[in-house]
Amino acid sequence: MERLPGPTRDRLSWIWTDVWPLIFLVVGLGSAIALPFVAVDHWAAEWTVPGLIGSFSATTFAFLIGLAWDRRQRTAEDRQEARAEEARQLAALEAEQERRKLEAKRRFGALALELDRLKATIDRTTQQSKYKYFLPDLPTGTWRAAGAPLGMIISNYGLIADLSTFYGQVSELQWRLRFKAQPGVDAEALNPIIDALTEQMLNDVDSLIKEVRKQMVEPDVASIDGTGDETGTLVGRRQLTRAIRAMTTFDRPLTPTAPEG
């Protein structure tokens, strides 16, 4: 037996479930209205048949009234339930938004403390040219813990990018200081490169601390429904072209060499 095509099956289902009950209801209603007049016209002397038809009409009208009232009540309950569900969803969204805002404030607060420590350390690093072994404390643990969560909930993507770039510079500064401390490395040749990076970081850390402290008070948390302001403000990182030019001023490489003898 061949199956009917999809559109044909859907049309037959629509006729059976939607059209046919409506036709039956209209026919029943028309019969309930018309039959009493027909009965009185043909069986005026005999009241048995008109009485039965009148009872049928009254029953039909009572059924239709009860059906309409039931549908009205059910529709009202469905609407009330829909409004209650919408209110629950809205309350859940607001609670999640508030939780994200509180989390952002806490993480930015810890990040501000770490940036203050980094600023003090970088300020001392400006004196590194006086020493061969200068290995200060450059903490990055707070950013490693908070970077990914903040990137997911903060809409100020420019600030997150700036912080990521700055902490990349912190790692670069650590590497350069450790590289300088290795035997066989010409510290005098490496000092200008480290100083250029240190000066750049000192200029950047002040603006970052200012932006982070703003986020501690009113964080730019992205809206869960996507209707919030998703634009970020770039603090303005610059490439370390001074350090690159400093490397070209020396003829000898900076790779470690084996000690003589």
105: in domain: yes
Identify whether residues 54 and 146 lie together within a single domain.
Answer: no
Identify whether residues 77 and 198 lie together within a single domain.
Answer: no
89: in domain: no
259: in domain: no
* Phi, psi at 154, each rounded to 5°: -100, 135
Q: What is the pTM of this model?
A: 0.61
Contact 214/104 with Cβ under 8 angstroms? no
Identify whether residues 217 and 122 lie together within a single domain.
Answer: yes
| Domain count for the chain | 2
For residue 128, pLDDT over 90 is answered with no
The residue ranking higher by pLDDT, 47 or 187, is 187
Give the pLDDT score at 117.
Answer: 93
91: in domain: no
Identify whether residues 74 and 201 lie together within a single domain.
Answer: no
Cβ atoms within 10 Å of 197's Cβ, excluding its own: 22
Give the pLDDT score at 68.
Answer: 72
Identify whether residues 114 and 195 lie together within a single domain.
Answer: yes
Boundary-marking domain end, from 84, 110, 142:
84
258: in domain: no
Give the pLDDT score at 257.
Answer: 43
Boundary-marking domain end, from 35, 64, 84:
84
pLDDT confidence band for 48 (50 / 70 / 90): low
pLDDT confidence band for 145 (50 / 70 / 90): very high
pLDDT confidence band for 42 (50 / 70 / 90): low
Identify whether residues 235 and 156 lie together within a single domain.
Answer: yes
For residue range 63-102, list pLDDT tens digits in order.
Answer: 777 777 777 778 888 888 989 999 999 898 889 889 999 9
Identify whether residues 12 and 65 lie together within a single domain.
Answer: yes
Boundary-marking domain end, from 84, 115, 143:
84
Record the tokens describing residue 185, joined without a space.
């490395």
Its domain, for residue 64, covers 6-84
Identify whether residues 149 and 185 lie together within a single domain.
Answer: yes
Identify whether residues 100 and 41 lie together within a single domain.
Answer: no
Give the pLDDT score at 238.
Answer: 46
Identify whether residues 16 and 116 lie together within a single domain.
Answer: no
Identify whether residues 110 and 236 lie together within a single domain.
Answer: yes
146: in domain: yes
Give the pLDDT score at 36.
Answer: 67
pLDDT confidence band for 169 (50 / 70 / 90): very high
Identify whether residues 178 and 70 lie together within a single domain.
Answer: no
